[in-house]
Structure 1
């Protein structure tokens, strides 16, 4: 089974990315069409280019080309072909042309590039071979360097170090090492690090939640950070009239009561049980209301929310401010400015195109959901000049939408809310269903690991509002490297390399598609090995993955079923699921979960079309065939499981 996951993982890691053709590049290509004057269409992996050849060639035969120029048209020169006696291209000849020594290791490396149809330059070869010869594990190093060239990443030692740690150490082991470093520490920052690690692992308990909540609030009060204060207001935990100054003063009085002139957070949290801290309510109620706030956050972008708010105001002006009759026909709107109607219709069409109303429905009550559906139906007819609209139905629908919009937190506060939801989910797992708990843990990892630190800082720097960045594992690792933390520098460097490696391989994009490759600690499902998730889908107009047409693969190490690969093929919102596993009870387990899966997908607007089980030997053979470099049927598009 390990061979299966390894082979499938390699195929997805080396999934072709369309690189722009540049002079000096060398690649393996196949002639698919010939035209007069030595012009041809050449297929390189998954892409085809129109090119001018230097000599007549044979259709259907693979050749090794060098790009001579790309100014007016792509001009290619043949370096070698499969027509030699050995029936294969000659890496030694290529290395000689590039001025590189033809050692056994160099030949093996170049042979891999040729066989995998990876375009490369002489500079990339020299840089890669230099790193390869300094590496202790040649096999792993070769795999990583091939991936770097294939993904068009700079061939630098720092990037190689990041990717090799991602491949050989993984998230679970790296976090365990950080935990061991701080386990016996008495440093002031130990509670913060322990809190982040327990949330990243998805494990906690009632007392840990209470202590970590106190730790978080004390830190924010000391740093003039009102993030949790604003969330408490949104969740209804504190009165709307209370100010942050009053909130701070309450906590400072408690701190003075507990510690006098001591400001050690570890001391304060360890003594919180002696004198009850001024939490806004009981721990259980606090957890419940914060989690309910998290559940009400709709998956709308900031732009969509602004458009929805404008649409809501425009509907109120059109239907609710004038007239006494309940039904409003199109002809009765003549007194309304034409610009107002046009703006409302434009916003309405924009929200329909982005499926914003469809995204809202799961977060509304049943009466609110019914009112919004009815409004969408009659409003579409009204826009087309048909029928009339009930003022009462507009009022009911807008009231539901306004209530939902009122509890949305700004993007700058979302990491803090995810932080609190993660604490709640870990300490009170009974409050959340397994699906929601799993999704929360994934979100917690993305935010608290630091993988999104740079993106959040860039977005907030561009905004005019002040923001407070949540502390992350990456921040703590950087502090330790600077000599002001408790984590050993070797551990901190390894952890940073890992996070950088995850960032560099997480996202690949072409003109037509987006590929995501994510890696999470296995602890969140009770596994000792990392969870790997690969996703590919066609790109929407908003540069997002189209949820109606995509392909998802999970690589899991489960407690009882052991190594398992689960794939989802989604086409036109129809989902086909394949489970690859050789456990004797896999059919029984799959049957037990098929109906809940079908019902769950239906609630999200998807249809389960098929569930099938495949054994590893059969699938491993198929993966090998699809990754074979000389397979004529290879389209270089996807791993079909």
Structure 2
């Protein structure tokens, strides 16, 4: 994925420095003769390394040459195949290099040799021929070269499978785009057990504006029922029943009673429940325990300008606990007070949580959107159509940035998405096969396991192609997420909704593990890459040392610093709440201080893995 935002991201070389211990027969290197000794022995500098080498022909001191490493014991044996500097190779030398490998000096082969020479990558005849064959079948030679570089610099298997995985990973299409493409081909071309399960999983993993709008539409209709009075409230409730969001036979009192029981039964409200329900549950609990004064004060904090209403509401809520037979009016008054309380702390989403019917709620929203804006028909009155159109129109408005971000990129959602990918599929499969006993844990259904099952069913060509691309992308992430020495690395792309559109966040986490094998959150480094509609490419480089965090942000927009100033105190406060200290936030416009590196690829973003102690160099 070529992007100007990655240019000069780090002021360090991305090419691997050649070391004496890495020299292998067949490798082509560029070196400078420093000193000459008898018997054609010379001191040669290659990159930042100096070594004593045996030369096959006499050479001149202080000159640069192209060498090919030869087989031999003891000193490194070098064969001269051309002269010139690292960044300039004479055409005759290039042809001679190809001649050493018995390859024709075609345009593509010459370009390939230049690539190996520029990156100082180890190469021999078999590797060069393999690389030429792989690149001939690649749509993007630059992405193919990035994949080859990753294979050789990261020590991955030199196989077609590894190349395909890394090539797909570094290409333009993101994991989210490939998943979306696969979902569409499954909808139109194929139906099997694996495809059905896969469609369901993709639907759960991929956020979409259609799903988001459908949920928002039914939430808005629920808010009308909760917050408004008279006919509008009753018509909104009728629409919720008609489209299946709630049971059609439930009266309003029965519905409120069910919501109250559900709220009271929640012993611990987790991340997926709106914060307002915690507040309402505490008030109900206090009143149930007879602590009316504290409950009254909490309600007063919601409506400080109307203390008398808070007192009335608290008194009415007491009727929820002191009902007796024959007191239907008091019971209804208590439930209406409960409805008023929920309306004060919720915008409608609480109803689906309290009813515990998330799938039903979502489907109701889909059905609501289908008829929203259509002419009146059936039992719809003018008010039905008006409220339905109002709920749908409000759903189509982009959510505020802070609401969208916090709702869709929580740690819980990220963990769920990573777990569903199946990046540890092979490890799980190995453990299951090793146990080999009935009743042992089975491999969970993940994106990778289901894609593999689908491919085993010999699907149509379009489905097969889309599935293989997703599989290669996942395998590429697995390769890039392996341990490098003491450092554990994780590379992945995560979807989220922003402004009503699906975006993806590319994240690379690097750090040590603790003694119990968990991520060390005190010392780590995380890179975030986003491509946004107005800001274009954004890189966030976050470094954590002993829970002290520094952040660097790279973007072409020079005004981004000013735009973000008002958010920095909020960031510092939120980090302090989870015991992190923000030391600095710096903004950079890429390319201002460097020339000659106008573009960088995600291969550079993925590929850097140097480290020193706990200070990770990515």
Q: TM bucket by the smaller chain?
A: 0.5 to 0.7
The residue aligned with 1:221 is none
Instruction: Tell me how far 1:77 sits from its aligned partner.
Output: 0.9
The residue aligned with 1:248 is none
Tell me, yes or no, if structure 1 residue 494 matches structure 2 residue 497: no
The residue aligned with 2:417 is 445
The residue aligned with 1:517 is 491
Query: How do residues 348-367 of structure 1 correspond to structure 2 at under 5 angstroms?
Result: none
The residue aligned with 1:178 is 182
Instruction: Tell me how far 1:99 sits from its aligned partner.
Output: 1.8
Change (3 A) 1:199 1:530: same
Query: How do residues 95-106 of structure 1 correspond to structure 2 at under 5 angstroms?
Result: 95-106=98-109
The whole-number CA distance in structure 2 between the counterparts of 1:108 and 1:506 is 30
Query: Structure 1, unaligned stretches of length 5 or more?
Result: 209-269, 296-419, 628-633
Q: TM-score, normalised by structure 2?
A: 0.56
Query: How do residues 531-550 of structure 1 correspond to structure 2 at under 5 angstroms?
Result: 531-537=505-511, 550=524
The residue aligned with 2:427 is 455
Q: Is the 8 A contact 1:535 1:551 kept in 2?
A: yes
The whole-number CA distance in structure 1 between the counterparts of 2:185 and 2:87 is 55
Change (3 A) 1:529 1:592: same
1:138-186 deviation digits (Å, cap 9, x = unpaired): 4433333343333333443333333333324321211111221344677
The residue aligned with 1:552 is 526
The residue aligned with 1:299 is none
The residue aligned with 1:562 is 536
The residue aligned with 1:121 is 124
Change (3 A) 1:636 1:565: same
Query: Structure 2, unaligned stretches of length 5 or more?
Result: 216-243, 251-257, 274-355, 364-398, 602-607
The whole-number CA distance in structure 2 between the counterparts of 1:34 and 1:606 is 54
1:501-553 deviation digits (Å, cap 9, x = unpaired): 222233361x4655543333355896645422234457888888765554432
How many corresponding residue pairs?
441
1:71-104 deviation digits (Å, cap 9, x = unpaired): 6x56241435654799546332221122221212
The whole-number CA distance in structure 1 between the counterparts of 2:62 and 2:520 is 34
Q: Is the 8 A contact 2:489 2:508 kept in 1?
A: yes
Q: Is the 8 A contact 1:51 1:76 kept in 2?
A: no
Q: Is the 8 A contact 1:522 1:530 kept in 2?
A: yes
Secondary structure in structure 1 of the residue aligned to 2:592? helix
Q: Is the 8 A contact 2:94 2:110 kept in 1?
A: yes
Q: TM-score, normalised by structure 1?
A: 0.54
Query: How do residues 37-76 of structure 1 correspond to structure 2 at under 5 angstroms?
Result: 38=41, 43=46, 48=49, 52-54=53-55, 63-69=65-71, 73=74, 75-76=76-77
The whole-number CA distance in structure 2 between the counterparts of 1:637 and 1:57 is 38
Q: Is the 8 A contact 2:36 2:42 kept in 1?
A: yes
The whole-number CA distance in structure 1 between the counterparts of 2:51 and 2:532 is 48
The whole-number CA distance in structure 2 between the counterparts of 1:525 and 1:157 is 40
What's the RMSD between the two structures over aligned residues? 5.5
Secondary structure in structure 1 of the residue aligned to 2:270? helix
Instruction: Tell me how far 1:556 sits from its aligned partner.
Output: 0.3
Q: Is the 8 A contact 1:448 1:472 kept in 2?
A: yes
The whole-number CA distance in structure 2 between the counterparts of 1:35 and 1:589 is 60
Change (3 A) 1:623 1:87: closer
Secondary structure in structure 2 of the residue aligned to 1:454? helix
1:459-505 deviation digits (Å, cap 9, x = unpaired): 45557982133211222222222228799223222222222222223
Q: Is the 8 A contact 1:441 1:524 kept in 2?
A: no
The whole-number CA distance in structure 2 between the counterparts of 1:61 and 1:526 is 61
The whole-number CA distance in structure 2 between the counterparts of 1:29 and 1:288 is 69
The whole-number CA distance in structure 2 between the counterparts of 1:87 and 1:179 is 48
The whole-number CA distance in structure 1 between the counterparts of 2:463 and 2:505 is 26
Q: Is the 8 A contact 1:128 1:155 kept in 2?
A: no
Tell me whether 556-565 or 598-607 shows the greater mean CA deviation. Answer: 598-607
Change (3 A) 1:32 1:7: farther
